[in-house]
Structures are given as C-alpha cells and as structure tokens.
Amino acid sequence: MRIARFSIDGNVAFGAVEGEKQDELVLDIIKGIPFADFELSGTKVPVSKVRLLPPVLPNKVVAFGRNYADHAKEMGNEVPDAPFAFFKPATSVVGPGDEIQYPSFSQDVHHEAELAVVIGRLCREVPRERVKDVIFGYTCANDVTARDVQKREKQWARAKGFDTSCPLGPWVETDLDPHDLTIQLTVNGGQRQLGRTSEMIHSIEDLIVNISEAMTLLPGDVILTGTPAGVGPLHVGDEVAVTIEGIGTLTNKVVKRG
C-alpha cells in the first residue's frame, strides 16, 4: 500500500494512494493514523487537488554514510568496517514539490539519492530476525549536502542538517522488498546517479540493529541508507528528481535562500 500525507482546504490527513497513471491517482482518506490499526474512509480525492506533504514527520532522521563502495571511492574515503551514523534534524525535512533552499554559507551543494526506511513502531535493541516487524515502509530521500562545509568542519551538523536538506516522498510504500531496487537521480532530466540497493555494504538489517542498540526508535523515524556513486553539484534553478523502483519519484526545485 502507498500511504501519503497531504493537505487540502487547510486540513492535514493521510490517504492510501490508488491508481497507476500520475494524472489519475486518487487518495482514499484514512481514518486515524497509519501507525496503528486504521480503516479507509471510502472518501476519495484526486491527488491533483491536494498538496502532498512529507509522508512522515520524523522525531529524528538517522543517516548512514559511505554505505556504497563506489560512492566511498569517489569521495576518496575508505569503506567503513561498521555502519556509522549521523543525524539530520526534523527541521531539515521537506516534501515532494517543496523547494530546496541553497544555504548562504555554502558554494558547493550536492545531491545524494537514497532509499529511506520509515519505522512503524517504538523499538529498541531490535534483533536481526525482527527487523521486518518494526519497518512501516520505504520512501525516496535526497540527502542534500553542503560538500564544502562537510570537508571543512569535523561535525556534519551544518553540512547535512540545514533547513530543506532532507526531501522525503512522495509517499511511503508499505509492501516492498527493498533489497535489490534500482535507485536513480536526475538533474534537469539528465541522469546523475544510477545504482541498486543490493550494492549496499551494510544491509538494512545491519543498520537498524546497529542504531537500535544505541537509541529508541519511534514511529515515523526515518533511516537513510546511503547513496550510490554519482553525487554532484546542484545550482539555483535546478530540478532534481530521485526515483526508486517500486516507490515512485521525489522531485524538488533548488532556489536561492531568501
């Protein structure tokens, strides 16, 4: 099931996305929230009549770096022996169609297409065999990075945590095998990144076991699983799109921070 979060007439709701053709998609409005037992209301609204929002509002976004060997190589880094994590704050999250605001403190902002895992239940110290039980679904993400700041500063808080640096969407796909999906990114229609999730060094199970050993994960929290090779610069005016097989396409426009 594809579950979107949206606004219409000043109200925010979740809905199940129905249909295949983009111009014919409709939302069946959900009674309640999707992280608990819910029912479909039967009240339907065309996607074209709503504003899609970030599919979740995470308490935290936990991102894992250098999880594709070719990307680590292109950045001149060693492949890590164990997963290593950093955070993107909730204020970095934007949704499909929202603007990525080019930060005033950087002159070298890059795109990074990623598969995002959405947590569905409160959990801690998750055993490998139970990882599936705590996952709500999957969505597309762009780990937008101020590369010059990342190289200059030991901590990545500003480089990867600035406002609008974490586009998510367009919705969450709950019924998906994530282990061998095509992941690609285009800028202004030209392909920049192309890889498969099977190329991850550390699997989704590895990542969730690793981070849940240290902290409690909450429903709606997001895990970013790393980016394949091909990262590169974004400029004001660019349109950047992340497409993941079985999920859909997340598109955002880069603007000057006002």
> What confidence score (pLDDT) does residue 232 get?
97
Dist. CA 10–CA 166, nearest whole Å: 24
pLDDT tens digits, one per residue of 146-185: 999 999 999 999 999 999 999 999 999 999 999 999 999 9
Residue whose tokens read 């959405």? 118
Ranges under pLDDT 50 in the chain: none
> What confidence score (pLDDT) does residue 71 get?
86
Dist. CA 243–CA 141, nearest whole Å: 9
What is the CB-side half-sphere exposure of residue 50 using CA atoms within 13 A?
Answer: 27
- List the domains of the chain with CATH numbers: 2-52 (2.30.30.370), 61-256 (3.90.850.10)
pLDDT tens digits, one per residue of 101-118: 999 999 999 999 999 999
Give me 116's structure tokens: 């995002």
> What confidence score (pLDDT) does residue 79 get?
82
> What confidence score (pLDDT) does residue 70 get?
86
Residue 239, classed as helix, strand or coil, is strand
